[in-house]
Structures are given as C-alpha cells and as structure tokens.
Structure 1
Amino acid sequence: MDVGALIDDVIDREGGYVNHPADKGGPTRWGITERVARAQGWRGDMRNFPREEAVAIYRRLYWLRPGFDQVAHLAPALAAELFDTGVNMGPPVASGFLQRALNALNRGERDYADVAVDRRIGPRTVAALGGFLDRRGPAGEAVLLKALEALQGERYLALAEQRPANEAFLYGWLANRLE
C-alpha cells in the first residue's frame, strides 16, 4: 500500500485553491480547509498553502491518526476507501462506517464480537476486521467496501436533504467518491 499515491490521488481530485460560496468549509487548497490548515500552524493566505504541507497533513491527520495504516495491513483496498471517505467526511465518520458494517456482518457475533461504534480504529476494531476476513476470505473485503459505499451514499443524500446548498455538490460526490 502506497499512501503517497493515495494522497497524490486525493490532491489531484481536490485540485488547487477553491472558495465555493455554498461550501461551509470556506477557502481550501489541495482539499485542506482553512480551519484545518490554521489548526496545523499555517498562517498565510490559503492561495499560497504549499502542497508539501497538504501532503504532511493528509498523512498525519487522515492516515496515521485514525489508524487506517493498521487496516492497510489486512485490507489495502478497504484502507484506501476509508482514507478517501475520511478526507471527504472526516476520519471519525469513515471509522464509524467500518465499525457499523463489521457489527452488522458478524452474524449475531458468531464470527467475532461486536465492537463499540466509537468512531476510532483501535485493537478491537482491527481484531474484528481480522475475524471477518478470516471467516469471509478475500471476497469479504469487497463486501465491506460495498457496505461502506452504501453508508457513504446515504450520508451524501442526507446532507443534501438537510442543507439544500449541498445539492451543488451531490452529483460530484456521487460521481467521484463512490466507486
């Protein structure tokens, strides 16, 4: 798993500087919002936010901190999806999707114990993922991907329903974020 390639893909998809009037995130560059950049120490104009800073933030806040690197050891495609979802919706949302899916797919805890949906990847979530993959094999990763994408799609629709301004983004979210 090459996290650098994942980050490059996200940056390519997110593009350079954007300040869309309907986007509550405000000014962004390379997909990093001004709020996140400021929290990480950036003080300059977002138009000048360096790509290298974005790469470092993605690696630190959207790959390592949420534990997606731990998932990558067991299920690389799943980790890539969690990373992309985490970039777009926040790592806790992506982590919660995984936990919910694992709980729903454990056949009443016959395959492995439920995990708390605490929206953090830790040893219990990794163990449940390992139990799922041991039981379901390589096809299990594809099923988990479908479950995550279903949850992600439902959330996009809900965001557009709850805030009509988000309708400006719904088509792109569905076209570019669900694979």
Structure 2
Amino acid sequence: MDIDDLIDAAIGREGGYADHPADRGGPTRFGISEAVARANGYAGPMRALPRATAERIYRRLYWEQPGYARIAAAAPAIAAELFDTGINMGPAVATAFLQRALNALNRDAADYPDIAADGALGPQTEAALTAFLDRRRPGGEAVLLRALNALQGERYIRLAERRPANEAFLYGWLANRLA
C-alpha cells in the first residue's frame, strides 16, 4: 500500500462526522479532531471539513513529519502500522512503541544497541530497525508488527481501565485498530 491507499483506508475506518459525548477529542470528521483541524488552518464547521483537507493533514502530520515514509521502503507493514497508530494515539506514541519493541527484540543489545524510547524517529531508530530486519529475515517484520500491536492493545485496555468512559470505544479500537 502507498500513502494514498493508507489515507483512504484510514478515512474509511474513521468514517464521516462524529461527536460522541465520551470522546474528549470533541467533534471529528474523517477522524480529524476539531483541535487538529483548527491547528492546521481549517476554520469552518467540522461537519463540512473537506476530505481533501483531511487527506493533507493525514499526509503531513501522520506520514511525512514523523518520518514514516522513510520506513515504508524497508518495512511497509511497519510504516502502515505506525501511521495508523499515530492517527489514533499520536506519532510520538507510535514511534515510542517501535523503539520499545526494537529494544526488547535486540537480544540484550547483542544485535544492535538500545535506543532512546523518546518518540522521535531519528538515525538511531532507523539504524536499529535496519539491523533488526537484516538479522531477522524472513519473518522479522511480522514479529515486530505483532509486538507493536501488543503494545497498542495494552494501551487501549489501560485507557479503558483508567477512564471508564473510554469503554465506549474499546471494542472498536480492538476490532478495527489491531491488525
């Protein structure tokens, strides 16, 4: 899948306009919250947010800025997962999941050094990912994807435990967000 396909899939999952009373993000359209839309220059009513605006926001904030396009060439499934997780939890959280998983999978730093789980995709994280994939082919990308999904699922459950209103979303998160 390329980024256009990923954006189409995200918009398909997110749907049109929503304003659920339990959602702290407030009104959304195509999965773009009002706060994100406003921060990116959209001033109109959320019900009327153009799809093209949502697509530009997805591309810039959740693909280009966090650097997932660089990941896509070597690990397309990982890049797609980071993109989707970043939409729902923020790119820093998605990237920190990647960093934590890479650290846990480096066999006590025998394969590559530990990296900071700082949520920023930089040269050390990219080098660790490359080293992991080189040492764990075939199958490494699939295992790393499972680790990312495990971290994501644990966070969803923790969110529901800490704020019971989030239980309204837990089933959908687990059904629609974990590949």
- Is the shorter-chain TM-score for this pair beyond 0.5, marking a shared fold? yes
C-alpha separation in 2, matches of 1:111 and 1:170: 36
C-alpha separation in 2, matches of 1:138 and 1:46: 45
TM-score by length of 2: 0.99
| 1:84 corresponding residue in structure 2 | 84
How many residue pairs match? The answer is 179
What does the per-residue CA deviation read over 1:54-104, in whole Å, with 9 as the maximum and x for residues that have no partner? 000000000011111111111001100111111111111100000000001
Identity over aligned pairs, percent: 69
| 1:20 corresponding residue in structure 2 | 20
Deviation at 1:22, TM superposition (A): 0.4
| 1:10 corresponding residue in structure 2 | 10
Deviation at 1:109, TM superposition (A): 0.8
Gaps of 5+ in 2: none
C-alpha separation in 2, matches of 1:26 and 1:137: 43
Matches for 1:45-60 after TM superposition, within 5 Å: 45-60=45-60
C-alpha separation in 2, matches of 1:114 and 1:161: 31
| 2:114 corresponding residue in structure 1 | 114
When the two chains are superposed, the root-mean-square deviation of aligned CA atoms in Å is: 0.7
C-alpha separation in 2, matches of 1:178 and 1:169: 13
SS at the partner of 1:74?
coil
1:172 maps to a residue whose letter is G
Deviation at 1:165, TM superposition (A): 0.3
Matches for 1:126-137 after TM superposition, within 5 Å: 126-137=126-137
C-alpha separation in 1, matches of 2:113 and 2:39: 37
What does the per-residue CA deviation read over 1:111-141, in whole Å, with 9 as the maximum and x for residues that have no partner? 0111111101111101000000010013000
C-alpha separation in 2, matches of 1:6 and 1:18: 21
| 1:29 corresponding residue in structure 2 | 29
SS at the partner of 1:109?
coil
Runs (4 or more) in structure 1 with deviation over 3 Å come to none
1:154 maps to a residue whose letter is E
C-alpha separation in 2, matches of 1:138 and 1:125: 20
Gaps of 5+ in 1: none
C-alpha separation in 2, matches of 1:55 and 1:105: 34
